[in-house]
Amino acid sequence: MIRTILVPLDGSGFAEHALPLAVSLATHAGATLRLLRVVPPLADYLFMPPLISDPLDAQLRQLHRADAQTYLDGVVQRLGGGAASVICDVMEEKEGISESICADVVKTKTDLIVMTSHGRGAVARFWLGSIADKLVRTAPVPVLLARPPENAPADLVHPAKLQHFLLALGGNTIAERIVEPALAIGKATGAAYTLVRVVRPAFPHLIGRSAAGSGSIGLGKIDEQNRLKAEDYLRTVAERLRAEGATVQTRVHVAEQPAAALLWEATQVGADLIALETHGRGVSRLLMGSVADKVVRGSSLPVLVCRLPHQLT
């Protein structure tokens, strides 16, 4: 069950593109929507910030917090009455923006983070892109990423459509971590599911040829066996979801490039959201797992990414 949804905002119209998705989900789930503005330290604003002991330091920090609160209050007004309960919070950055957001998630027992991912041009270099990357790999809860359209303001009037989810599964229990949050969101919105397993060809550079050696199994036969195993695996997962009352279909795709195959499948089934687990490793890296990263950067749909076990039930 989703009780609290967090949307980090930085004051830009780019970040606000996450709001229609978050508001729609909060409304369907009856969840509280928290808008969070993390205020960077004065050193990010001023060439020579005052000393912490200087009274001017406290005055300037209070001024920045007040400006951030005014911005959030304005966002709530633009959202209108709506059915979602909205809370606005301002906090000062401690050890980094992503670290501050993660600390807030733990403190407030947030269930889901919704935010925009990467832009293009100058905005792609803004903090939000790298923060999204870091949160996907470090947040203790799933992250739902929205890809904003080019040169268009956020539509805060019309709710986002969340009726069909594509779940990418890798054939193991690690990849199945994405099932739980996707099911929690889908139950709230009444979504149907398509489970997809991408199987890589055994020897893609030898497709159409037989393996060398007398009595060896043809490469086409190997791929067919792998496809059948994938179908059996998806059938097992689908049965578990159907036991939860979900409408589920399954698809197996044999391809060299899993990310491209997932994006193609999403268009074929008319998905509104793609969900997958990431294998990103190493806290110092900004990039998540390669397949998840390519899907996030290549998809025009929202992408739900899960890294660790969580508490959505």
Query: Which residue is listed with tokens 């269930």?
Result: 111
CATH number belonging to domain 4-146: 3.40.50.620
Between 168 and 148, the higher pLDDT residue: 168
pLDDT category at 286 given cuts 50, 70, 90 is: very low
pLDDT category at 138 given cuts 50, 70, 90 is: confident
pLDDT tens sequence across 6-25: 999 988 888 899 999 999 99
Residue 68 burial (CB < 10 Å; 0-12/13-18/19+)? Answer: buried
Q: How many angstroms separate the first and last alpha carbons of the chain?
A: 5
Between 119 and 164, the higher pLDDT residue: 164
Sheet strand arrangement including 192-199 = 85-92, 32-39, 4-9, 112-116, 143-146, 303-306, 273-277, 164-168, 192-199, 248-254
pTM of the predicted model as reported, rounded to 2 decimal places:
0.83
Helices marked H in 33-91: 55-79
Residue 200 burial (CB < 10 Å; 0-12/13-18/19+)? Answer: middle
pLDDT tens sequence across 31-46: 999 999 988 765 566 5
| Equal CATH topology for 4-146 and 164-306 | yes
In this prediction, residue 25 carries a pLDDT of 93
Residue 112 has pLDDT above 80, yes or no: yes
Q: What are the structure tokens assigned to 209, written together?
A: 């040829």
Which one-letter DSSP state was computed for residue 53?
T
- Calculate what percentage of the chain has a pLDDT beyond 70: 77
Between 310 and 64, the higher pLDDT residue: 64
Nearest CA to 168 out of 262, 240, 302 is that of 262
Q: What are the domain boundaries of the chain?
A: 4-146, 164-306
In this prediction, residue 79 carries a pLDDT of 87
Query: Which residue is listed with tokens 């989703």?
Result: 2
Residue 201 has pLDDT above 70, yes or no: yes
Q: What are the structure tokens assigned to 74, written together?
A: 């304005």
Angle between helices 179-189 and 219-243 (to 10 degrees): 50
Q: What are the structure tokens assigned to 272, written together?
A: 């509104």
Residues linked to residue 88 through DSSP beta bridges, in sequence order: 35
How far apart CA 245 and CA 203 sit, in angstroms, is 39
Q: What are the structure tokens assigned to 68, written together?
A: 């951030």
Between 50 and 287, the higher pLDDT residue: 50
In this prediction, residue 9 carries a pLDDT of 92
3-state secondary structure of 252: strand
Pick one of 3.50.50.60, 2.40.160.40, 3.40.50.620, 3.40.50.720 as the CATH number of 164-306. 3.40.50.620
Distance of CA 157 to the CA centre of its chain: 22
Residue 103 has pLDDT above 50, yes or no: yes
Query: Which residue is listed with tokens 């709710």?
Result: 159
- Residue 77, CB half-sphere, CA atoms under 13 Å: how many? 6
In this prediction, residue 173 carries a pLDDT of 65
Phi and psi (nearest 5°) for 8?
A: -75, 130
In this prediction, residue 302 carries a pLDDT of 94
3-state secondary structure of 250: strand
Between 282 and 205, the higher pLDDT residue: 205
